[in-house]
Chains A and B, each alone.
Chain A
Amino acid sequence: MTVPFDIAIIGAGPAGMAAAHEANSLGLSAVVIDEQNAPGGQIYRNVQRVIAERPEDIRILGTEYACGNGLADGMQSSGIKHLAGHMVWQIERDGTVWCSDGNKAKRIQARTVVLATGAMERPMPVPGWTLPGVMTAGAVQILMKSAAMIPDGPVVLAGSGPLLLLVADQLIQSGARLAAIAETTSFSHYLAALPKLPKALSAMEYLKKGLQMRRRIKASGVPIISGISGLRINGGAKATGITFKAGGRTHTIAAETVLLHQGVVPNTQASRQLRLDHGWHDTQHYWYPKTDVFGATSEEKVFIAGDGAGIFGAMAAEVSGRLSVLQIASHLGVIDVAERDRKAKPLFSEKHHHDAIRPLLDALFPPPAEILNPRDDATIICRCEEVTAGDIRKAASLGAPGPNQLKAFLRAGMGPCQGRMCGLAVTEILAAALGKSPVDIGAYRIRPPLKPLSLAELADMDTDPGTVTSSSL
């Protein structure tokens, strides 16, 4: 007999792991489906092995990172099913989740779905960003966490955001050779952020950490160049450095590794595939699925927890994972509304605390106009199909009214990444070219499969919907 899970949780980062904990403690049946081989998401990537095998690296990766270990261990020792190494390729509104372990596709039935699919770094289209030797700052941090690897030759970091400085700091402590940090943040951003400071003071630990980081970087002697613009990456077969303008003159910095970062944005691939209602964040220029305080979406059985619903960071993500499960438990009749509210109350105040730092960070690190809508026509926007900013502007002038029509003109968004890399820029470029708002322009429609899967994986699928359920896993 088919017994569906109460909750299918997609993603094993802070939101997903916390949701699993809460489900377990309320006696709900849950399955966590995650693409990685170990729990942690990107923020706590590989944390269990780092602590077991090279605990000295916590000094570099940070005590916040080490905190993820408790969540990961807790989830694994609970009764919650964890399908590691499983790629979700379709989610249905009724709670059906289709995934694959790489060999065989599976269908999972659940009463509700919690998307805990997190964030990704904003793609940073600048001339030369497709060259080997260019990566995101987050990519190198993943290499530090998952493989204890750092760049060998000189490194330059460019862009803005807390993660840019964090990775710079961690690389310095790891012994990497940093040529410079070139940040788009300028004095005017500090002025703009100033009114947000009083509220942010209540989340003092974030401010302290940021200041300590900057102090350590300064003390290391690595030059920080602020207020840069016109960033481009030099090189032919691979990157050889960057050129930019700052303080009225042109700078060129040689490096073998160029690390780009311009903040993080919700990964909306799954929420778009589910056709959830989305909103537009005016300061940070990203799409977010609309949710209520419990993470409920425009679809009754679908909840979103963590940065997938808007960027608030790992600590807030944990809290939101718990809140979603409390609401689901009350919907399923496991707890009544009074108990939900009693349990939710401290969580709301915790969330409020972590959210307090965001307006300051959002104002301090806005994505610059030249990243949102690159001026240089030759800049590649869609990396897969090699479509440039100029191509997109031309298609707009020929009558392409939105991202989905652009696919027919240029194949933009139709390569293997399915628009993950170009989607935001395509919306912004069309909006600017046509004199409309991003909301009027809209976003790519996302269709399953969310990631390509082979015919062999499909052919081997268990077609009996009762095969993978809470009773038989």
Chain B
Amino acid sequence: MLKRRHSDSEVVAITVDGVAVEARAGESVAAAVLVSSSEATRTTPVSESPRAPYCMMGVCFECLMEIDGVANRQACMVQVAPGMRIQRQLGARDLRGAE
């Protein structure tokens, strides 16, 4: 869905659902996930409908993801850091927190 126009900035190694992803320094988690795949970043607890970041500025809460074991974080408001573990939140798992 997205691509980087420059690729010369420092690589930050993260994982998304256990898969290694190369992010770049300064990117938000939401940006790094969107550039790696165009799939939904979560599904809703109510009807499991697919969602992805909508506003990128912290107001819509569509980008909720599990980051380093903490569920329901706004991925557009968190910058990537080396070794960060990111999980999609699928369906009602969201309510219980991640496994």
Q: Which A residues have a C-beta under 8 Å from some C-beta of B?
A: 35, 37, 42, 46, 49, 53-54, 57, 87, 120-121, 123, 130-136, 138-140, 142-143, 146-153, 174-175, 237-238, 256-257, 267, 383-386, 415-417, 420-421, 451-452, 454
Contact = CB atoms under 8 A, between A and B. Distances in A.
Contacts of A136: 54-56
Nearest to B37: A132
A178 to B, nearest CB: 15
Nearest to A145: B56
A350 B9 CA distance: 40
Contact of B40 (A238, A421, A452): A238
A149 B5 contact: yes
Contacts of A417: 59-61
B79 A256 contact: no
Nearest to B80: A147
A132 B39 contact: yes
B11 interface: no
Category for how many chain B residues contact A: 35 or more
Contacts of B31: 143, 146-147, 149
B59 A267 contact: yes
Given A132-B39, A133-B1, A149-B2, A139 B26 contact: no
A100 to B, nearest CB: 12
Interface string B1-20: 11111100100000000000
Given A139-B53, A237-B39, A420-B60, 15 more contacts: A54-B6, A120-B57, A130-B49, A132-B38, A132-B52, A135-B54, A146-B27, A148-B4, A149-B4, A151-B1, A152-B1, A152-B3, A256-B38, A386-B44, A417-B60
Contacts of B77: 35, 87
B40 A150 contact: no
Contacts of B57: 42, 120, 138-139, 142
A415 B1 CA distance: 27
Contacts, number: 126
A416 B95 CA distance: 12
A384 B61 contact: yes
Interface of B: 1-6, 9, 24, 26-28, 31, 34-35, 38-41, 44, 46-47, 49-62, 64, 70, 72, 77, 79
A132 B2 contact: no
Contacts of A46: 26
Q: Is the interface of B mostly helix, strand, loop or mixed?
A: loop
Nearest to B47: A386
A416 B61 CA distance: 6
Contacts of B61: 384, 415-417, 420-421
A132 B51 contact: yes
Contacts of A139: 53-57
Contacts of B24: 147
B57 to A, nearest CB: 6
A152 B56 CA distance: 17
B79 A37 contact: yes
A35 B28 CA distance: 13
A256 B3 CA distance: 13
B38 A150 contact: no
B1 A121 contact: no
Contacts of B70: 454
What 9 A-B pairs are tightest by C-beta distance, nearest first? A132-B52, A139-B56, A416-B61, A417-B61, A142-B56, A152-B3, A147-B31, A148-B5, A386-B46
